[in-house]
Amino acid sequence: MAGKFEIYKDKRGEFRFRLKASNGEPILASEGYKSKRSCMNGVASVQKNGPNSDRYQGKQAKNGKHHFVLKAGNNQVIGTSQLYDSERGMMAGMKSVQKNAATANLEDLTKA
């Protein structure tokens, strides 16, 4: 089973996407977008930039947990990971995005 992008609307009515790994676990989430078109552009940016290891920036939260952001060529953040207990877990998350981003299917949950 391949990874997949899910597009959905949040409680404020904004469009968002999340990338899930082949095991169904979320590995990257977007900011809120006012339009579906902008959200789709975000997905395209993840597909383009996700395979490039230079586009990732690892971070450590104040509580000691680790997370990463994926940035576009213009240095704008296009996706954020969940929190991981270890740096090793964070690195595995990055590799999962690299593996899944370019070939993930797209599921539009806003059509339901």
The CATH number for 79's domain is 2.30.29.80
pTM over 0.85: yes
pLDDT of residue 1: 58
Reference 98, options 67, 53, 68, 44; nearest CA is 53
Query: Positive or negative CA dihedral for 23, 26, 30, 32?
Result: positive
Q: How many domains does the chain have?
A: 1
pLDDT of residue 8: 97
| Percentage above 70 pLDDT, the chain | 98
Q: Average pLDDT, stretch 79-104?
A: 94
User: What distance, in Å, lies between the first and last C-alpha atoms of the chain?
Assistant: 23
Q: Average pLDDT, stretch 78-97?
A: 96
The pLDDT mean for the chain works out to 94
pLDDT of residue 45: 96
DSSP strands (E only) in the chain: 4-9, 15-20, 26-29, 56-60, 66-71, 77-80, 105-108
pLDDT per position as a tens digit, 5-35: 999 999 999 999 999 998 899 999 999 999 9
- pLDDT confidence bin for 94, thresholds 50/70/90: very high
- The domain in which residue 89 lies consists of 4-111
Print burial letters for 43-57: b (CB count within 10 Å at least 16), e (below 16): bebbbebbeeeebbe
